Structure 1
Amino acid sequence: MTSQGWVVIAGPNAARRAELAAAMVDRPDWRQCVFNGPAAVFTQSQCQYATPPGTADAGVLGTVFTRHGTSYHQGTLEDAAWRNLCCGSIGQFFERCWGGFVALSSSAESLQVSRDPSAAMPCYYAHASGVVLVGSSIAHLIAAGLRKPTIAMDQLARSLFRADLSSQETAFVGVSELLPGDCLQIDRDGLHIRHVWSPWDHVAIDETIGFLRHAEQLRDAVENCVAAWGTTAHRTLVGVSGGLDSSIVATCLASKTPRPVCVTVSTADAEGDERVHAHRICDHLKLALQEADYDLDDIDIERPARPDLPRPTGRMIAQAYNAAVTRVAHGNGADAFFTGNGGDNVFAFSQSAGAIADRLLHDGPWIGAWQTARDICQLTGCSLIQAWRSALRLAIGPHSYNWKPDRGFLHPDVLRKLDREPLMHPWLDAPKGALPGKAAHIAALLRIQRHLEDTGQLSAVRVINPLMSQPIIETCLAIPSWMWCRGGRNRSVARHAFRNVMPPSITDRVSKGGPSGFGTRIINTFHDRIMGRLLEGHLAAGGIVDRAALERRLRDDRPDWGTEQVRVLELLEAEAWIDHWR
């Protein structure tokens, strides 16, 4: 596991704070940091910590960059940024700084803990015997004095139902997550959450900026952010599939010294074998490409792929991918693994009629709206009548995004209860005048957040997802939804932005591969054991899953699992996660 952890021991009970801090001081893998506020701050060896010049009234944990036009510099914050943080102006601090960090500020007996909007730095908190512990993982909270938390099965069921919708609630009793862009205030009156950064503050349409200028601004933001993250690593490994997103990341890192090495991980079936596409971008960039395979020997269905997260997340298939990448990383001495994760989300990949509805509401029923309708038809293969029907429904209906839960294989009693609870998140609350297509774009940003945390899944190799950097997010939010599908191509602005530095076979590629075939192999290979674990396991005993429905599907010999395969592997991950924490 990477040594980038941090813990803050806070709360009004000074004696208890001092007691827990003294115990942490004796631990050789932790060091105490200077901080003048009502808290003790500890970091592990690879976690950066910075304070203002001449004082320790504030601090930043993690990687932080400051903005100077279109260039970014790590570590040294400008005086104005420190002043913003010290006086509690967190919103202004977020305007000046970005990265993967948690910022600390204090006043009198109050502590403010603010998480950057990108979700790159995890942040959890819990009460523990008169203090509040805040840290980068549950394991780190336990190291600081939290008793091993109890699983809340009702909260776990809610997590499975929410379908990747972020929440303050975890699957542990008494443990909460500080959401990206939020600020936690700890004082004598308790805990208070303030929403500081909102994507809705960045969606205004600038009529003076056209498609070409948006593409230029996007390329500037992406190149600078990827380059900035590149300065934090000595030897870089880049995951490439030959798709647009990972190819953009590789292109932006190609000039880095030492030169990055690329890796592509393939399945035995054609859908998951993208080596041809990966070689095209690597040959173009003159970067070395190493090939690896999804291997069933790396799958242990009794072990979770992401054990350190506070709720089951993802699928067991990740074990094989992580193992393959880790071997290549260690073989090349890489200390960081760069991905294209989040590209579909930030570049507004969509097949809905939201772009038509947005343009209709913004420009009226003129030629622009009809052109966007034709773009959507070309993109999806639907007819103009179908496109306009969908667009009109979106235009005249509520403009907030309607998050759809995942009901797959959950018990009817659980569904009846959860159906009465609204699926809420502050980013889903669309303001007056919001456009439905942009609401869907923001929902896509939420959908990826729970999969971005670096929890040591690649051992000591850091995982960096540069496309989800705050400046890129803000740049993309300002681009009208109809520009993203221009010409009948998804992610059109990003394709145009990098068309002069990548081969057409990459920028024009619309096919997508995936490891679903390997997921089917997992189910077929371990079928009897999977059946036993899911039908006789914790989820079935707790009445969370519909045992009869699961048994019917697992006994069905149909080869095409479709989306049910994903759900079965998610439930298998949840079962292993429960075993890990019990």
Structure 2
Amino acid sequence: MCGLTGWVSYQRDLTGQTEIIDAMTRTMECRGPDDGGTWVSEHALLGHRRLSIIDPAAGAQPMPAEAEDDSLPVISYTGEVYNYRELRDELAELGHRFRTGTDTEVVLRAYQQWGAEFPERLNGIYAMAIWDPRSEELLLVRDRMGVKPLYYYPTEDGVLFGSEPKAVLAHPEAEAVVDADGLREIFGIVKTPGHGVFRGMHEVRPATVVRFGRDGQHTTQYWQLRARPHTDDLDTTIRKVRELLEDIVQRQLVADVTVGTLLSGGMDSSAVTALAARALREKGHEQPVQAFSVDFKGHSERFASNVQWEDPDTPFAIEVAEHVGAEHIIVELDNQDVLDPEVRESVLRAQDLPVSTGDMEYSLLVLCRELRKRMTVALSGEAADELFGGYTWFHDEEAVQADTFPWHHPFEKAGGIGALRQVGLWDRLEMDEYVKRRYTQALEEVPRLEGETGTRERMRELTYLNLTRWENFLLDRKDRISMAASLEVRVPFTDHRLVEYVYNTPWEMKNFDGREKSLLREALRGVLPDSALDRKKNPYPSTQDEKYETALRERVEGLLTKGSPVLDLVPESGIRSLLDEPFGTYGVGGPWGARAVLERLVEFDNWVTEYNVRVEL
């Protein structure tokens, strides 16, 4: 999947600054362990690390349009364009000649042919930087749904940029400073598009081209969700969703390396696994698709249902794998796997920020590392819940009507907001006001259909909030951690054709039988066993072993004995008040409960130390 970085300066000669671009590029080695390179010119330096997926023998980057002509555009690109073969044929007919079989070169030729409007023609997940020496202009481009990350940091005479903040922070002019708004993004579960958390750093928003030139910065949005009347009846809608998913999964299997799936046993990952297995058989593949699941030792025996988890995943994953003919690999973890200091350090370094969902992120890294031993690419069911209405907050009337982000309702019910108040952080950061402001801004963006009112209007709002905020939070986590294991994760449910169609499908169709994801369930009827179709939505698994909470509490106690940086943020008395609560008071709660707050305090302390962060309130 690769990693990119670079530096543009209009007032300095950068040809003698190769040590800096080399250092920035090295931070991306996990994203691209197969190869690396830099491109040097007077006013622009580009770096790239490659994870070879298509045409592994060719495609070294940064890739110039012509190897012997430095006056033509050069690209540093990450991601996959799934329609690159069609685009290649179209460009060849227009006179372009290709020296590799990569999608990277297709994207570069597309820019040469169509200029800054070329992203409109791409179907895929991507982030890229194109430097055009002819105009001395830099283009930063990100895919429609924001699957692949890209950050930038304006300087007095140019800009620094990279796939992850760590690449930017490797430059001596970039400071790791976090102010109050940055802390609010970390602790408030807000995920404001474009906010880079570090002061002065920005995230390229999804579906956006950011152009830098001698005349300054210009931003263009090349795609956006639009409200359109839905004219298909229910049967036609069900059939269209099925057809789109079949085409999307088939396209996303394109690779010159092994492709597998992540399988939880829930509807979304099961659908991707089933459709992938079928598509591979139709292509004549003799080996079954490999499907990976994660579980905790003893989890089924001690499992207790709660507000988030109704039943263990593994029995359902086993049944789905047998049903679709997949080779099923269960990665079984114990407490030590998620408490391992190396794993926790790697997750921190992967995300460049304190963890947000506790042990889920550590187990995800271990799972991805196990996948990487067998393959380079995996398909995931991520993002279906945001689109089809799978989360509890789509079906809880209090959450639906709450005048805030809908996921804040379970966060509060599980004790998360209460815990942040208890340690004094919620009020100190004035989170009520911040969340309200960001929520109001988000509602102002919602594309609305004339004449739409009541439930339809409100569910459109909730779907938009989920697709543009909550989904980006989860996609960023999945990308950062999987790429830390040098594993490319593809996300079929983010294909913009499916998103456009389902976004405009009325809520009564998405929920036609009164259950979550009714539309998706019916589209998959006959593809999956009834057990997977009828199962209640479960989040990614989290350990329920009390020993994990014991170890976590011990780490929090350790913060109170060494004058830790976290004590500059929250008082010792507030932390002790949480520790004084009985074991299990807050339950598991995933990203919601107070246990996750304790996790964040521990990781915040580590983050400030490891990244030498300066906190300015």
Deviation at 1:527, TM superposition (A): 1.6
Does residue 256 of structure 2 align to residue 225 of structure 1?
A: no
What does residue 459 of structure 2 align with? 437
- Partner-residue secondary structure (3-state), 2:505: coil
What is the rounded CA distance, in whole Å, between the counterparts of 2:190 and 2:349 in structure 1?
A: 17
Q: For 1:76, give the aligned amino acid.
A: R
Deviates more, 1:264-273 or 1:437-446: 264-273
CA displacement 1:420-452 (0-9 Å, x = unmatched): 672166675224647221111011122021332
Question: Residues 263 and 292 of structure 1 are in contact (CA less than 8 Å); yes or no, is this contact kept in structure 2?
Answer: yes
Q: For 2:37, give the aligned amino acid.
A: R
Does residue 290 of structure 2 align to residue 261 of structure 1?
A: yes
- Partner-residue secondary structure (3-state), 1:191: strand
What does residue 605 of structure 2 align with? 575
Question: Residues 234 and 509 of structure 2 are in contact (CA less than 8 Å); yes or no, is this contact kept in structure 1?
Answer: yes
Matches within 5 A, 1:412-561: 413-416=427-430, 419=433, 422-423=437-438, 429-431=445-447, 433=450, 435-445=457-467, 446-453=469-476, 454-455=479-480, 457=482, 458-510=484-536, 512=538, 515-518=541-544, 521-533=547-559, 540-543=566-569, 545=570, 547-561=572-586
What does residue 307 of structure 1 align with? 349
Question: Residues 281 and 506 of structure 1 are in contact (CA less than 8 Å); yes or no, is this contact kept in structure 2?
Answer: yes
Q: For 2:375, give the aligned amino acid.
A: A
Deviation at 1:114, TM superposition (A): 1.8
What is the rounded CA distance, in whole Å, between the counterparts of 2:427 and 2:353 in structure 1?
A: 21
Does residue 321 of structure 2 align to residue 285 of structure 1?
A: no
Deviates more, 1:533-542 or 1:213-222: 533-542
What is the rounded CA distance, in whole Å, between the counterparts of 2:245 and 2:260 in structure 1?
A: 18
What is the rounded CA distance, in whole Å, between the counterparts of 1:473 and 1:210 in structure 2?
A: 18
Overall identity of the aligned pairs, in %: 17
Q: For 2:88, give the aligned amino acid.
A: T
Structure 1 residue ranges without an equivalent (≥5): 354-378, 381-386
What is the rounded CA distance, in whole Å, between the counterparts of 2:572 and 2:378 in structure 1?
A: 39
What does residue 15 of structure 1 align with? 13
What is the rounded CA distance, in whole Å, between the counterparts of 2:560 and 2:289 in structure 1?
A: 42
- Partner-residue secondary structure (3-state), 2:247: helix
CA displacement 1:530-568 (0-9 Å, x = unmatched): 23337966564333x465343222211152414222332
What is the rounded CA distance, in whole Å, between the counterparts of 1:74 and 1:542 in structure 2?
A: 56
Matches within 5 A, 1:82-101: 85-86=111-112, 93-101=119-127
TM-score of the two chains, using structure 1 as the length reference: 0.79
Q: For 1:575, give the aligned amino acid.
A: D
What is the rounded CA distance, in whole Å, between the counterparts of 2:6 and 2:357 in structure 1?
A: 31
What is the rounded CA distance, in whole Å, between the counterparts of 1:402 and 1:279 in structure 2?
A: 33
Q: For 1:550, give the aligned amino acid.
A: I
Question: Residues 101 and 121 of structure 1 are in contact (CA less than 8 Å); yes or no, is this contact kept in structure 2?
Answer: yes
Question: Residues 5 and 136 of structure 1 are in contact (CA less than 8 Å); yes or no, is this contact kept in structure 2?
Answer: yes
What is the rounded CA distance, in whole Å, between the counterparts of 1:323 and 1:161 in structure 2?
A: 22
Does residue 39 of structure 2 align to residue 42 of structure 1?
A: no
Deviates more, 1:466-475 or 1:515-524: 515-524
Q: Residue 210 of structure 2: which of 149, 168, 184 is its match?
A: 184
CA displacement 1:204-252 (0-9 Å, x = unmatched): 1222x12222222222222222222221362233221210011011012
Q: Residue 131 of structure 1: which of 145, 153, 158 is its match?
A: 158
- Partner-residue secondary structure (3-state), 2:257: coil
Question: Residues 102 and 121 of structure 1 are in contact (CA less than 8 Å); yes or no, is this contact kept in structure 2?
Answer: no
CA displacement 1:231-279 (0-9 Å, x = unmatched): 1362233221210011011012114344321122123232573211001
Q: Residue 223 of structure 2: which of 164, 180, 197 is its match?
A: 197
Matches within 5 A, 1:31-430: 31-32=37-38, 39-46=44-51, 56-57=72-73, 59=75, 61-65=77-81, 67=83, 73=85, 76=88, 78-79=90-91, 85-86=111-112, 93-102=119-128, 104=130, 106=132, 108-127=135-154, 130-142=157-169, 145-147=171-173, 149-199=175-225, 201=226, 203-207=227-231, 209-232=232-255, 234-255=257-278, 256=280, 257=285, 258-267=287-296, 268=299, 269-270=302-303, 273-300=312-339, 303-304=344-345, 305-326=347-368, 328-331=370-373, 333-351=374-392, 404=408, 407=417, 408-409=419-420, 410-411=424-425, 413-416=427-430, 419=433, 422-423=437-438, 429-430=445-446
Q: For 1:493, give the aligned amino acid.
A: L
Kindly tell me the number of residue pairs found equivalent between the two proteins.
Answer: 531
Question: Structure 1 pair 330/12, CA: closer, same or farther in 2 (3 Å)?
Answer: closer
- Partner-residue secondary structure (3-state), 2:212: strand
Question: Structure 1 pair 469/105, CA: closer, same or farther in 2 (3 Å)?
Answer: farther
Deviates more, 1:47-56 or 1:466-475: 47-56
Question: Residues 125 and 143 of structure 2 are in contact (CA less than 8 Å); yes or no, is this contact kept in structure 1?
Answer: yes
Q: For 1:204, give the aligned amino acid.
A: R
Q: For 2:502, give the aligned amino acid.
A: C
Question: Residues 262 and 287 of structure 1 are in contact (CA less than 8 Å); yes or no, is this contact kept in structure 2?
Answer: yes
Deviation at 1:73, TM superposition (A): 4.0
CA displacement 1:482-506 (0-9 Å, x = unmatched): 2111111211111111112111121
Question: Residues 58 and 85 of structure 1 are in contact (CA less than 8 Å); yes or no, is this contact kept in structure 2?
Answer: no
Question: Structure 1 pair 5/499, CA: closer, same or farther in 2 (3 Å)?
Answer: same
Deviation at 1:287, TM superposition (A): 1.1
Question: Structure 1 pair 570/344, CA: closer, same or farther in 2 (3 Å)?
Answer: farther
- Partner-residue secondary structure (3-state), 1:241: coil
- Partner-residue secondary structure (3-state), 1:139: helix
Question: Structure 1 pair 86/580, CA: closer, same or farther in 2 (3 Å)?
Answer: same
CA displacement 1:64-101 (0-9 Å, x = unmatched): 4365xxxx748837439878745877566325433323
Question: Residues 321 and 327 of structure 2 are in contact (CA less than 8 Å); yes or no, is this contact kept in structure 1?
Answer: yes
Deviates more, 1:491-500 or 1:315-324: 315-324
TM-score of the two chains, using structure 2 as the length reference: 0.75
What is the rounded CA distance, in whole Å, between the counterparts of 1:131 and 1:77 in structure 2?
A: 36
Deviates more, 1:218-227 or 1:100-109: 100-109
Question: Residues 63 and 75 of structure 1 are in contact (CA less than 8 Å); yes or no, is this contact kept in structure 2?
Answer: no
CA displacement 1:469-524 (0-9 Å, x = unmatched): 33332232132222111111211111111112111121222252653443754222
Aligned Cα root-mean-square deviation (Å)? 3.8
- Partner-residue secondary structure (3-state), 2:438: coil
What is the rounded CA distance, in whole Å, between the counterparts of 1:518 and 1:75 in structure 2?
A: 49
What is the rounded CA distance, in whole Å, between the counterparts of 2:390 and 2:206 in structure 1?
A: 22
